[in-house]
Amino acid sequence: MTNGPIVEIRGLTKVYGTGASEVTALDAVDLVVPEGQFVTVMGPSGCGKSTLLNLLGGLDSPTAGTISIDGTPLGDLPDDRLTELRRRRIGFVFQFFNLIPVLDAVENASLPLRLDGDRDAEPRAVRWLERVGLGDRLRNRPDQLSGGQQQRVAIARALSTEPALVLADEPTGNLDSHSATEIGGLLRQVSDEWGRSVLMVTHDPRIASFAQRLVLMRDGRIVDDLALDGSHEGPRHALERAGLL
């Protein structure tokens, strides 16, 4: 792990299509995320949030600009090294959990480690499941867990490889408000207690308030970047000031 920023983006641009159908999803974006910081990204649909997450996760490649994750420039990596970095240094948390229905919590949480040939996959997964509050649900399958519990399994899976960065795409979008609040608090714990950088995309200002920093996007550009004070109203007021509400 480096002592520098976990995420460093310079001039990041993504253009889809050509000619009359050309769409600029990201327009020369600069962003730096220090180690252990929880950043939330907000903005209207189509502003570039999901494109940003896909590029950071190495799931797509930029039209222009550079991305470094934990000191490693993604653009320099061959496919096999990019896959390895994605599996070991980046954890993903999705809106719909993406758990495998026939596997129990331990088997789901240990999957990235098993794919990497880790002999300690199961005990490491158990350790993370206990940390996220699922020590009594280790052998439950997804259909035996609530939505909030399933998302906790997904967070344990994301953390099992000890990543530098957790990318969370609308992680509370499929949850009731009580479970969503718990997951927002858990992601803050991922940052505060376990020292991981977290970059979360959300539409929910209340969940955004758990982050330390808010990045607002519109039309593929960052229009504001500010520290949050923990108040539930902070993100909403920032959205109003930027004309995004």
Per the structure, the count of domains in the chain is 1
What's the confidence (pLDDT) of residue 210?
A: 96
Long-range CB contacts (within 8 A, 24+) of 24-28: 24/220, 25/51, 25/220, 26/51, 26/52, 26/55, 26/62, 26/220, 27/219, 27/220, 27/221, 28/64, 28/65, 28/221
User: Quick one: pLDDT at residue 101?
Assistant: 96
CA distances from 152 to 86, 173, 194, 238 (A): 20, 14, 15, 29
Could you tell me if residue 84 is inside a domain?
yes
C-alpha 237: how far from its chain's center? Answer: 23
Evaluate whether residue 59 is within a structural domain.
no
Look at residue 62 and give its three-state secondary structure: coil
**Buried-exposed string 164-188: b where 16+ CB fall within 10 A, e elsewhere:** bbbbbbbbbebbeeebbbbbbebbb
Q: For the whole model, what pTM was predicted? A: 0.93
| Domain hosting residue 203, numbered range | 35-48+79-241
Each residue of 135-164: pLDDT tens digit? Answer: 999 999 999 999 999 999 999 999 999 999
Cross-strand partners of 68:
8, 73
**Which whole-number Å values give the CA distances from 154 to 36, 95, 104, 124, in the listed order?**
19, 10, 12, 14
Structure tokens belonging to residue 145 = 């867990």
What one-letter code names the amino acid at 192? Answer: D
Task: Evaluate whether residue 204 is within a structural domain.
Answer: yes
Q: What is the mean predicted confidence (pLDDT) over 94-122?
A: 92
**pLDDT band at residue 2, thresholds of 50, 70 and 90?**
very low
Domain of residue 99, CATH code: 3.40.50.300
- The pLDDT of 183-201, averaged and rounded, is 95
- CA–CA gap between residue 108 and residue 225 (Å, rounded): 35
Q: Is residue 237 part of a domain?
A: yes
What gap in Å lies between CA 29 and CA 207, rounded to an integer? 24
Would you state the pLDDT for residue 1?
42
- pLDDT for residue 243: 85
Residue 109: inside a domain: yes
Q: What is the mean pLDDT of residues 113-132?
A: 93
Let me know how long the chain is: 245
Say if 211 falls within a structural domain.
Answer: yes
How does pLDDT run across 207-244, given as a tens digit for each residue? 999 999 999 999 999 999 999 988 888 898 898 888 88
Q: What is the pLDDT of residues 11-40, one digit of tens each?
A: 999 999 988 889 999 999 999 999 999 999
The arithmetic mean of pLDDT across residues 109-127, rounded, is 92
Residue 208 lies in a domain: yes
pLDDT of residue 3: 60
* pLDDT tens, residue by residue, 70-93: 989 998 889 889 988 888 899 999
Beta bridge partners of 167: 92, 199
Does some domain include residue 191? yes
State yes or no: pLDDT of 204 exceeds 80: yes
Q: 105 with 134: CB under 8 angstroms?
A: yes
